[in-house]
Chain A
């Protein structure tokens, strides 16, 4: 047995003794010879601490029948099996704590970087696929109807056909959140199929791009690439562009609100009053978690459709530098 084991045994023995002879755990009353020093705590004849004297007398007066179980308890606590079991439990708890910390590090940092890079690569591939090489001239587009002044009217926005489950169908560009902010839009809000890949997941029952009503998306705030971590930076009037195989659908942020997770009306065709939506309007609604590292609430962003332009007209000038040709 090592020195540290000896020290541990001694300290455990001292603790057991202190418990055994503590007045609270004793059923028998204080010894008669300590009565005279009870008021001061010192024995009148010897000047010793009355409690230490009473412990000795208690030890002598304790019946053998009561001392045997205590001895067994003491031997159990002092046994090698007990100390080894305690060590295994302690080391297991430390191991569990390390695994939990590793998991948090993986989820919030390592996996975040991996997913962000993967979804970023998919977004760039989409942009390359959908961007026409000669399409930055805008007004020269054949589908445009030139007007004497103001923005070009490309007619009503085409309604995109419904994509298959988990199918990637677009790219989101939000200049306010950075010149490299390009995120993938996919069909469905399944965790494995879309959201955990860092994509904006389109609620299947909500409207399609170009359709009047509410086109709603869900996206992770933190973790899984943290695609919408910077959501609170958005301001009224900020541009959000959805690029699809049809063209560029442009929306302007109108307002944001915090709701409870059960407030499912935010993704309905005409959301509640706080969305300021009216019948027949084309809305974009994005739901994400709030607070950043929790999910007690949802942060809702409402944006209004302001126009569209076909792919061969090139990207809107606000995102021209973001779109990879």
Chain B
């Protein structure tokens, strides 16, 4: 899967590394700012006493 991604990306090795780094940052940003807060919200809800 990841090897296939490396193969389909265009350009020289440094350009592909740059594209993958950019994609990694984008994925991390989505995780940290959207997915993780949402997961945190649905996992920490409680109807009992205390937090």
Task: For the complex formed, measure the closest distance between the CB of A208 and the CB atoms of chain B, giving whole angstroms.
Answer: 19
Residues of B contacting A88 in the complex (Cβ-Cβ under 8 angstroms): 1
Given A91-B1, A91-B2, A106-B36, CB of A262 within 8 Å of CB of B45: no
Check B51 against A219 for contact (C-beta < 8 Å). Answer: yes
**A92 to B3 CA separation, bound complex (whole angstroms):** 13
B39 at the interface (CB under 8 A from A): yes
A75 at the interface (CB under 8 A from B): no
- 14 interchain pairs (CB within 8 A)? A87-B1, A102-B28, A103-B39, A106-B36, A110-B32, A191-B46, A195-B51, A196-B40, A218-B49, A218-B50, A223-B44, A262-B48, A264-B49, A295-B51
Q: Which of B11-51 contact A (CB under 8 A)?
A: 28, 31-32, 35-36, 39-41, 44-46, 48-51
Check A221 against B39 for contact (C-beta < 8 Å). Answer: no
Contact for B51 among A87, A192, A221, CB less than 8 A: A221
Given A103-B39, A106-B36, A191-B45, CB of A298 within 8 Å of CB of B50: yes
* Nearest 8 CB-CB pairings of A with B: A261-B48, A287-B50, A298-B50, A91-B1, A220-B51, A264-B49, A218-B51, A106-B36
Known pairs A189-B51, A261-B50, A264-B49; list 9 more (Cβ under 8 Å): A88-B1, A91-B2, A103-B31, A191-B51, A195-B51, A218-B51, A261-B46, A263-B49, A288-B51
Interface residues of A (CB under 8 A from B): 87-88, 91-92, 99, 102-103, 106-107, 110-111, 189, 191-192, 195-196, 201, 218-221, 223-224, 259, 261-264, 266-267, 287-289, 295, 298
Q: How many CB-defined contacts (below 8 Å) exist between A and B? A: 66
Check B1 against A196 for contact (C-beta < 8 Å). Answer: no
**A191 to B51 CA separation, bound complex (whole angstroms):** 8
Residues of B contacting A111 in the complex (Cβ-Cβ under 8 angstroms): 36, 40
**A111 to B46 CA separation, bound complex (whole angstroms):** 20
Task: For the complex formed, measure the closest distance between the CB of B32 and the CB atoms of chain A, giving whole angstroms.
Answer: 6
Instruction: Among B1, B44, B50, find the residue whose CB has the most chain A CB atoms closer than 10 A.
Output: B50
**A259 to B44 CA separation, bound complex (whole angstroms):** 19
Interface residues of B (CB under 8 A from A): 1-2, 28, 31-32, 35-36, 39-41, 44-46, 48-51
Residues of B contacting A103 in the complex (Cβ-Cβ under 8 angstroms): 31, 35-36, 39
**A259 to B48 CA separation, bound complex (whole angstroms):** 12
Check B51 against A289 for contact (C-beta < 8 Å). Answer: yes
Task: For the complex formed, measure the closest distance between the CB of A318 and the CB atoms of chain B, giving whole angstroms.
Answer: 27
Contact for A262 among B31, B40, B49, CB less than 8 A: B49
Residues of A contacting B46 in the complex (Cβ-Cβ under 8 angstroms): 191, 261, 295
Residues of A contacting B40 in the complex (Cβ-Cβ under 8 angstroms): 107, 111, 196
Residues of B contacting A289 in the complex (Cβ-Cβ under 8 angstroms): 50-51
